[in-house]
Structure 1
Amino acid sequence: MSPRFPLNGSPDGGEPHAPGGQPVTPLVETAGTAGRHRVTFLWRARSEDEQAVVLINTLTDRDRHAGDISGHVMHRTPGDDMLRLTYELDADLRASYQILPCAEIPGTDRDSWLRVMMTALPDPGNPVRIPGSHGRNPSSLLELPGAPAQPYRDRRPGVPEGRVHESGTAGRRVWVYTPPGHGASGDGPGRGAAGPYPVLVLLDGDVWAGRIAPTMDNLIAEGRIPPMAVLLPDAVDRPTRLREMACHEPFVRHLAGELLPWAVREWGVTDDPALTVVAGQSFGGLTASYAAFTAPERFGNVLSQSGSYWWSDEDPEWLTRRYERVPRLPVRFHVEAGRLEWMLLEENRRFAEMLAAKGYEVTFTEYNGGHDPACWLGGLAGGLTGLAAGWL
Structure 2
Amino acid sequence: MNFAKINNVVDSLIHKKEIPPILVVMVPPINREQEYGNNPAFARAFATELVPMIDQRYRTQAAPSSRATLGASLGGLIAVFIGQNYPQVFGNVAGQSSGFFAETSLESLRNAPKINLVFHLDVGTYEANFHGRNLLEGNRRLRDLLREKNYRLQYKEVHEGHSWGSWRARIADALRFFWGTLPVKY
TM-score (norm 1): 0.44
Which residue of the partner structure matches residue 71 of structure 2? 280
Q: Is the 8 A contact 1:235 1:241 kept in 2?
A: yes
Question: Per-residue CA shift, 1:77-120, capped at 9, x if unaligned?
Answer: xxxxxxxxxxxxxxxxxxxxxxxxxxxxxxxxxxxxxxxxxxxx
Evaluate the alpha carbon distance shift between residue 208 and residue 332 of structure 1 in structure 2; reply closer, same or farther with a 3 A threshold: farther
Asked which structure has the greater CA Rg, the reply is 1
Which residue of the partner structure matches residue 220 of structure 1? 14
Q: List aligned pairs for 1:149-164, cutoff 5 A.
A: none
Q: Is the 8 A contact 1:305 1:335 kept in 2?
A: yes
Which residue of the partner structure matches residue 146 of structure 2? 355
Paired residue secondary structure (2:37): coil
Match for 2:16: what amino acid?
Answer: E
Work out the CA distance in 2 between the residues paired with 1:209 and 1:262.
26
Paired residue secondary structure (2:24): strand
Which stretches in structure 2 are left out of the alignment for 5+ residues? 129-133
Q: Which has the higher helix share?
A: 2
Residue 326 of structure 1 deviates from its aligned partner by 1.1
Work out the CA distance in 2 between the residues paired with 1:360 and 1:330.
8
Q: Is the 8 A contact 2:66 2:91 kept in 1?
A: yes
Which residue of the partner structure matches residue 335 of structure 1? 121
**1:292 aligned to which of 83, 88, 95:** 83
1:265 aligns with 2:56: yes
Residue 352 of structure 1 deviates from its aligned partner by 0.8
**1:304 aligned to which of 92, 95, 114:** 95
Tell me which moved more, 212-221 or 279-288.
212-221
Question: Per-residue CA shift, 1:151-174, capped at 9, x if unaligned?
Answer: xxxxxxxxxxxxxxxxxxxxxxxx
Work out the CA distance in 1 between the residues paired with 2:117 and 2:176.
16
Work out the CA distance in 1 between the residues paired with 2:3 and 2:137.
30
Q: Is the 8 A contact 2:94 2:121 kept in 1?
A: yes
TM-score (norm 2): 0.91
Work out the CA distance in 2 between the residues paired with 1:208 and 1:270.
26
Residue 251 of structure 1 deviates from its aligned partner by 0.5
Q: List aligned pairs for 1:49-60, cutoff 5 A.
A: none
Work out the CA distance in 1 between the residues paired with 2:4 and 2:35.
22
1:245 aligns with 2:36: yes
Q: Is the 8 A contact 1:209 1:232 kept in 2?
A: no
Q: Is the 8 A contact 2:4 2:168 kept in 1?
A: no
Work out the CA distance in 2 between the residues paired with 1:318 and 1:300.
23
Equivalenced residues, count: 177
Which residue of the partner structure matches residue 131 of structure 2? none
Question: Per-residue CA shift, 1:114-173, capped at 9, x if unaligned?
Answer: xxxxxxxxxxxxxxxxxxxxxxxxxxxxxxxxxxxxxxxxxxxxxxxxxxxxxxxxxxxx
Q: Is the 8 A contact 1:303 1:334 kept in 2?
A: yes
Work out the CA distance in 2 between the residues paired with 1:210 and 1:323.
28
Q: Is the 8 A contact 1:278 1:303 kept in 2?
A: yes
Residue 246 of structure 1 deviates from its aligned partner by 0.3
Residue 368 of structure 1 deviates from its aligned partner by 0.8
Match for 1:274: what amino acid?
Answer: S
Which residue of the partner structure matches residue 383 of structure 1? 174
Paired residue secondary structure (2:26): strand
Work out the CA distance in 2 between the residues paired with 1:208 and 1:277.
20
Paired residue secondary structure (1:359): coil
Work out the CA distance in 2 between the residues paired with 1:228 and 1:282.
23
Work out the CA distance in 2 between the residues paired with 1:322 and 1:367.
27
Residue 359 of structure 1 deviates from its aligned partner by 1.0
Work out the CA distance in 2 between the residues paired with 1:232 and 1:373.
15
Residue 210 of structure 1 deviates from its aligned partner by 7.6
**1:366 aligned to which of 157, 172, 176:** 157
Residue 208 of structure 1 deviates from its aligned partner by 3.9
Work out the CA distance in 1 between the residues paired with 2:112 and 2:100.
17
Which residue of the partner structure matches residue 234 of structure 1? 28
Which residue of the partner structure matches residue 6 of structure 1? none
Q: Is the 8 A contact 2:76 2:97 kept in 1?
A: yes
Q: List aligned pairs for 1:97-116, cutoff 5 A.
A: none
Which residue of the partner structure matches residue 345 of structure 1? 136
Q: Which has the higher strand share?
A: 1
Residue 273 of structure 1 deviates from its aligned partner by 0.8
